[in-house]
Amino acid sequence: MTTAVRPRRSVLYMPGSNARALEKAKTIPADALILDLEDAVAPDAKQLAREQVCAAATSGEYGYREIVIRINGLDTPWGHDDLKAASVAQPDAILVPKIDGPSIIRQVESIMSQSGASPAIRLWAMLETPRGLLHAEDVAGASSKLEVLVMGTNDIAKELKAAHHSGRGPLLTSLGLCLLAARAHRLTIVDGVYNDIKNIEGFEVECRQGVHMGFDGKTLIHPSQVEPCNRIFSPSEGELENARKIIAAFHEAEAAGKYVATVDGRMIEHLHVENARRAVAMSEAIAARL
């Protein structure tokens, strides 16, 4: 039996100050939209962006897309007002940037509670600072409301004074630490952005790297990245065919009182069945949207 999952293959940032972009987002087939009040918004447009984003979040016009509001940090002039407004707007989740440790998560929860936020609103946390990376496991376990970790790879490269190039060698330690933290606490984790929007081949290579590492999806900065991202982070037909063979073979083995099976000459154990069921569950969740 498969377990229901929520696809988060493609997570697209949309600038909150751009009304046309917020309107266009209603037609983009991304799994989730981050309506951004932080990096994509100039200081003199923060108030307008907050109003537009909160109106969008309450509109109910985005269909299956998960709506996430990224607030400014609580140490900025806008962060507290962003969080209070987002709590009232009732998005699916609120994304908190530059998390340095679990205390910020608890502070956010307190403000949300005081602002009358629905218990259904989830928290997403951005890991993009050296201190945050070193405390990734503590952050991941800080709250039952926390559901997704988001990698801020541009900021990580900047803070590490590292090159951000093909293969991402200088970032692999940071990515691995956060993957471990996410899996230890059964959280979703999405990879960082790819900056060269015209280099689709390079983008696809990085998506595949993310899949191989174990990420659930990737954050995006342009609508053109959505289709290849969805495709690469979805189980292929070949993977699904193999997954169903594994599930069927193991079911037959269990019925015969055995706990291993063989598929195409390979020994299959329970861990392979879990992976197979996960792939089928993801495929079914994607199909249900269509």
Q: In this structure, are 158 and 271 located in the same domain?
A: no
Rg (CA), the chain: 20
Mean pLDDT of 89-111: 97
The confidence band for 164, taking pLDDT boundaries of 50, 70 and 90, is: confident
1: in domain: no
Distance CA(113)–CA(118), nearest Å, equals: 8
pTM above 0.75, yes or no: yes
Interval 194-200 mean pLDDT: 97
Domain count, the chain: 2
The mean pLDDT value of the chain amounts to 95
pLDDT, tens digit, 9 for 90 and up, residues 103-131: 999 999 999 999 999 999 999 999 999 99
Confidence grade of residue 5 (pLDDT, cut at 50, 70, 90): confident
In a domain, 2, yes or no: no
Q: Rounded to whole angstroms, how far apart are CA atoms 131 and 187?
A: 20
210 token code pair: 């993310």
Tell which of 232, 248, 266 closes a domain: 232
| 114 and 94 fall within a common domain | yes
Q: Which domain holds residue 246?
A: 237-289
Look up residue 231 and give its two tokens. 């495709």
Please write the tens of the pLDDT for every residue from 15-65.
999 999 999 999 999 999 999 999 999 999 999 999 999 999 999 999 999
Q: Tens digit of pLDDT for each residue in 234-269?
A: 999 999 998 998 998 888 888 888 878 888 888 888
Any idea what the CATH number is for the domain that residue 150 is in? 3.20.20.60
Residue ending a domain, among 189, 205, 232, is 232
The answer for residues whose C-beta is within 8 angstroms of residue 91's C-beta and 6 or more apart is 35, 57, 67, 68, 69, 121
pLDDT tier at 4, thresholds 50, 70, 90: low
Indicate the range of 3-12, 54-63, 201-210 predicted with least confidence.
Answer: 3-12
**Sign of the CA dihedral with 155 first, then 160, 164, and 169 last:** negative
Say if 4 falls within a structural domain.
no
Same domain for 244 and 225:
no
| 213 and 80 assigned to the same domain | yes
Domain stop point among 192, 211, 232: 232
pLDDT surpassing 60 at residue 3: no
140 and 255 share one domain:
no
